[in-house]
Amino acid sequence: MIEPNILISTLHAIRAKNPLILNITNQVATQFTANILLGLGASPAMANAEEEVEEFVQKSNALVINIGTLSTPQLRSMQLASRTAYQQNIPWILDPVGISASLYRAKTTLSLLQNFPNAIRGNASEIISLYHYHQNTSLRTQGHGVDSLDSSHDALEAAKQLALSYKTTVSISGQTDYITNGKESVSVRNSHPLLTKVTGSGCAATAITAACLAVEKNTLYACSAAMAFIGIAADIAMQHINAPGSLQIGLIDELYLLNDEKIIKYAKINLVK
């Protein structure tokens, strides 16, 4: 079990250091992602121009690469930013949104992996698809656009293999979230089904993970803390709301209000045997 004190120290570090998180991300979720980071205590930067991303990366504490609304100019920026982050030892996270929707997305993701992200976060279908592309085998996922119809548990073995191949940590979101570095795996049971009705909730989880990576060197701990933070926020928000529009605002509010006592009370994190 990951002790609550690890989550608490990560939250305190984010709020004390206010890490700058550069997001080259999904147009659909840009504002929500920025507000989520502000609510948590980090500082968001949203930059896409190839001419400035290298400089932005060098000033940032972590980088988010999210392929949700991919374009060729954005891809050039992603390649430059992720390469710079790797060379400068700045943590970065890859979110392969809808990777199975097109060969372009698949090739993009595989090319970005050559810059060795510190973490990969996706839903079960995305992680399974990524594994099959990595293996150059036929795909057998149940994705629907950017949504997953696969179980997060069914993606765990694929995630372990990806983690070992790229020396990274893989975070799978679902009814139960799983995080693995290939040798150790963690389950996080803080989540709510209504999160699937909030556009950008997965993108938000990726951004929160980047904030945690900026202050916590153990990537397994950082990724686990991130999924616990957004899950706890959803759990608490759903105590007084019942619709996805309110949940989006509730997530920002509850991340802002997250404290030691709430982490101790609500966190459901265990090692997977």
- Which residues contact residue 210 at a Cβ distance below 8 angstroms, ignoring those fewer than 6 apart? 21, 23, 62, 63, 64, 91, 92, 93
Rg (CA), the chain: 17
Q: What is the pTM of this model?
A: 0.94
- What local confidence, expressed as pLDDT, does residue 217 receive? 97
Cα 176 to Cα 2, 188, 271, distances in angstroms: 16, 6, 13
Q: Binding site membership for ATP: which residues?
A: 121, 173
Amino acid 146: pLDDT:
46
Residue 101, domain extent: 4-271
Q: pLDDT tens digits for 101-132?
A: 999 999 999 999 999 999 999 999 999 999 99
CATH code at position 185? 3.40.1190.20
- Counting the structural domains of the chain, the total is 1
pLDDT of residue 136: 86
Cβ proximity of 229 and 7 under 8 Å: yes
pLDDT computed for residue 180 by the predictor:
98
Instruction: Provide the pLDDT for residue 191.
Output: 80
Annotated binding residues, written as ranges, equal 46, 121, 173, 200
**What is the reported pLDDT for 126?**
96
Binding residues for substrate: 46, 200
